[in-house]
Amino acid sequence: MDGSDEANVITEELIRECVKVLNKGEPGQTIEPVISLRETQSLIASFKRIKKIDNLRGLDSLTKLQLDNNSITKIENLSHLTNLTWLDLSFNNLTKIEGLESLTKLTDLSLFNNKIDKIEGLDSLSNLNVLSLGNNNLKNLDSLLYLRRLRNLRLLNLDGNPFGKDPEYKNYVIAHVKDLKYLDYRTVEAAAVTAAREQYQDELIEIEEREEGDLTREKERGEVAAEAARLAAANLTGIGTLFEDMIAEDPEHAKLKKVPTLLDALTEFRDKSVPLTEDFRTAILEQHKKVADERQLWQDAVARATADKNAAARALVSAFESARKKAFQAAKLDPATSEEALRGPREENDRLRERLLELEMQTVDILEDLWTEFDKAYVEIMDANKLQYTAFFGAIRTLENTFFEAVGTQAAHLLEKFAGGAFEDSEEELQQILQDKDALMNSIQASHDAHTTKIDQLEDARLQQALRAYQELSASNRKWEIQRNRERISEIWNLFDRNKADLDALMEDEE
């Protein structure tokens, strides 16, 4: 480190300098990295006067990142480094734990000697095994309860924080933070844990009961979310809750249900809609499985086809390399015949290019045929699904129409009774509703319109989503195939150019 106080930024030059450090050979000798930055797994940038974490794009393979002893004030721009298992940000100027949400593979995290005053931002780090928060500004012992969610935490360093002066510090930590093996670099003895837990027994019982309830609720939320995701993947979002949503979004329902017996037919509507919905959902889930099976068969066929053609291409390249090696050896043994010896590899390089291009064209044709087969099967399933959707929503509309007719009939009956003097002792609001026949019938019609609109909207949404899913899959496949083809053509021409350049260079050397 030089004497300059000027802060550095992370540049490619700095990264390469740090990578070189990791590839040292003999003392005093520095070896250029033999792998690309994209493949680099470990980067040490300690004591580099770095003020901001930035410019780490392309280092997605990093598993170890060491940025200690710098001037960093914020944890940021790390979200793409999802393979990190080891992160050292000690001896910086951090004030907050943040920006680590996507680093779910982290097992070792050091934030030692910063200015952090709150334990937070670690919720997603379920694999964390080692955590150093020593020499920070943590003051409240109760804040350590946050660490109970880190169920794989075994080594914890908190030494040097203000709460360490509390005489109950050690007992509190080992009682409340479960399964610690080491605290502040000292072994946590089982007897000490037992004694500490007895000291805080009543408090721990309450905490553990609360946590058990939280875990149960978390599990239930997870199951609900998983089921919602499963239904969404099968294009069934909103189907299971159609009846409830329809009633909830009905602007007239609250008014109409104040009229006794007016909506009695709603129970029959709901009861009949349940088996219809279950049967429909079962049928669509079966169709969704067919799509998944067809897609897997297609992907397997694509993988086999590309693997076969790639193997054939490698065999051609290997044969060329072997022939070229023999020609190079012959040219070196007898320079006078080098031009003749190298004529064969030159011609073979041309043939290799053409044969590789021919293999690629065959691959394109095969993949096109495979997609056509899959597309046909997919469209057939889509057409069958469309019939299922049409039948289901048609049946729901029939139930709605039956319900609407029943409500109209019941309304006429109630209005007749009201005209005959019934409901005299009822609440004033009900009497006002029954006094205005036109307003009541308009409300019933508006309610019916709201129901049918909801049914229509959901049917349109599901059919549009089915079409959109097909279009997205088709576009994704086309994009992948175009990119694959471009890359392969580029590889073939690059190979041809390299071989030609090698042959030209050898000829120049011999001359």
Measured CA to CA, the distance from residue 370 to residue 460 in angstroms comes to 31
Rounded to the nearest 10 degrees, how much is the dihedral formed by the CA atoms of 218, 222, 228, 230?
A: -170
* Predicted pLDDT at 406: 96
How would you classify the pairing of strands 155-157 and 130-132?
parallel
CB atoms within 10 A of CB 146: 15
Q: Are residue 194 and residue 256 in the same domain, yes or no? A: no
Query: What's at 375, amino acid-wise?
Result: D
The single-letter DSSP state of residue 143 is G
3-state secondary structure of 111: coil
Evaluate whether residue 219 is within a structural domain.
no
Domain holding 412, by residue range, is: 242-510
* Predicted pLDDT at 35: 47
Q: Are residue 415 and residue 477 in the same domain, yes or no? A: yes
Contact call for residues 182 and 158 (beta carbons, < 8 A):
no
* Predicted pLDDT at 30: 36
Contact call for residues 469 and 246 (beta carbons, < 8 A):
no
Contact call for residues 415 and 440 (beta carbons, < 8 A):
yes
Evaluate whether residue 382 is within a structural domain.
yes
Evaluate whether residue 390 is within a structural domain.
yes
* Predicted pLDDT at 22: 44
* Predicted pLDDT at 29: 38
Evaluate whether residue 462 is within a structural domain.
yes
Question: How many domains, in total, are found in the chain?
Answer: 2
CB atoms within 10 A of CB 374: 21
> Which residues 6+ apart lie within 8 Å of 102 measured at CB?
78, 79, 80, 82, 124
Domain boundary among 170, 199, 228: 199
Q: Where are the alpha helices (DSSP H) in 420-436?
A: 428-435
Q: Are residue 76 and residue 138 in the same domain, yes or no? A: yes
Q: Are residue 162 and residue 276 in the same domain, yes or no? A: no
Domain boundary among 199, 233, 256: 199
* pTM higher than the cut 0.85: no
Evaluate whether residue 206 is within a structural domain.
no
Contact call for residues 105 and 130 (beta carbons, < 8 A):
no
Contact call for residues 69 and 91 (beta carbons, < 8 A):
yes
Q: Are residue 177 and residue 246 in the same domain, yes or no? A: no
Q: Are residue 173 and residue 251 in the same domain, yes or no? A: no
Q: Are residue 404 and residue 332 in the same domain, yes or no? A: yes
Mean pLDDT by 10 residues, the chain (511 residues): 55 69 40 54 88 86 92 93 94 95 95 95 94 94 92 94 93 93 93 93 91 90 93 95 96 94 95 96 95 94 94 92 81 68 81 94 95 94 94 97 96 91 85 92 96 97 95 94 94 91 72 53
Strands (E), 31-125: 42-44, 64-66, 86-88, 108-110
Measured CA to CA, the distance from residue 45 to residue 42 in angstroms comes to 10
Evaluate whether residue 75 is within a structural domain.
yes
Q: Are residue 182 and residue 282 in the same domain, yes or no? A: no
Structure tokens at 1: 């480190």
Q: Are residue 396 and residue 453 in the same domain, yes or no? A: yes
Domain boundary among 143, 170, 199: 199
Which residues lie across from 65 on neighbouring strands? 43, 87
* Predicted pLDDT at 221: 92
Evaluate whether residue 76 is within a structural domain.
yes
Q: Are residue 190 and residue 250 in the same domain, yes or no? A: no
Residue 45 sits in a domain of what CATH number? 3.80.10.10
Evaluate whether residue 204 is within a structural domain.
no
Q: Are residue 259 and residue 173 in the same domain, yes or no? A: no
Structure tokens at 126: 């379920």
Q: Are residue 308 and residue 381 in the same domain, yes or no? A: yes
* Predicted pLDDT at 507: 66
